[in-house]
């Protein structure tokens, strides 16, 4: 992947570290989001968010230090396959989140813990519809719960997004197993 040249007018102070699936999975997620919108009869909050496995957000003026920290850790990560199978639900109080389930959570959780900290509550997933009201969830879930879905992709990098003017844009890819400066 060619590094993109981004132009950000203000200094970057907020980053999002993710694992980005390939285009065909992003396309599948977009179709599933279309289905949810059709089933509930309106747009929902994260309707246009891109498919990803979120690792963590970083908001501070020391973004360069954080990127260097992640780069130094990533030199020890080895590429692995991520297996995605079927849809599942998080229950957050009266809200529901529909997501694609990651079968082999351990390697993703291991990356998260090596970058940040141990957290038994971290569950790698790809969000389809976040924080749906119970009424909307009950319109969509009966049609989606038994939908068979199975894909996999090679995870060989951490993608860094930067917030610019209320949008996340590609900032950098940090490849696994490479020392800084390798290309």
Return the CATH number at 96.
3.90.1140.10
Number of domains in the chain: 1
In-domain check, residue 182: no
In-domain check, residue 9: no
In-domain check, residue 115: yes
| Confidence (pLDDT) at 2 | 46
In-domain check, residue 168: yes
Domain span at residue 164 reads 14-175
Report the percent of the chain where pLDDT is more than 90.
79
- Residue pair 70/174 in contact by the 8 Å Cβ criterion: yes
Residue 119 has phi, psi (to 5 degrees) of: -155, 100
CB atoms within 10 A of CB 162: 18
Tokens of 160: 């860094």
| pLDDT at residue 119 is higher than 90 | no
Q: Residue 60 — very low, low, confident or very high, per pLDDT cuts 50/70/90?
A: confident
In-domain check, residue 90: yes
* Mean model confidence pLDDT for the chain: 91
pTM of the model: 0.89
| Confidence (pLDDT) at 1 | 45
Residues 6+ apart with CB under 8 A from 84: 21, 25, 100, 101, 102, 103, 126, 149, 150, 151, 152, 153
| Confidence (pLDDT) at 11 | 74
**Is the pLDDT higher at 115 or at 179?**
115
Residues 6+ apart with CB under 8 A from 8: 162, 164, 169
In-domain check, residue 76: yes
């Amino acid at each position: 992947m060619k590094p993109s040249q981004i132009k950000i007018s203000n200094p970057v102070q907020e980053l999002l570290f993710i694992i980005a699936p390939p285009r065909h999975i992003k396309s599948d997620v977009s179709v599933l989001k279309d289905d949810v919108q059709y089933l509930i009869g309106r747009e929902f909050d994260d309707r246009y968010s891109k498919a990803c496995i979120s690792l963590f957000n970083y908001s501070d003026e020391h973004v360069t230090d954080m990127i260097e920290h992640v780069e130094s850790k990533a030199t020890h990560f080895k590429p692995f396959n991520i297996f995605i199978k079927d849809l599942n639900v998080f229950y957050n109080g009266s809200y529901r989140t529909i997501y694609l389930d990651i079968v082999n959570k351990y390697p993703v959780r291991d990356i998260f813990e090596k970058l940040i900290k141990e957290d038994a509550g971290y569950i790698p997933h790809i969000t389809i519809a976040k924080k749906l009201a119970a009424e909307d969830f009950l319109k969509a879930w009966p049609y989606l719960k038994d939908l068979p879905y199975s894909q996999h992709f090679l995870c060989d990098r951490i993608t860094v997004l930067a917030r610019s003017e209320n949008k996340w844009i590609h900032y950098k890819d940090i490849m696994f197993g490479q020392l800084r400066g390798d290309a």
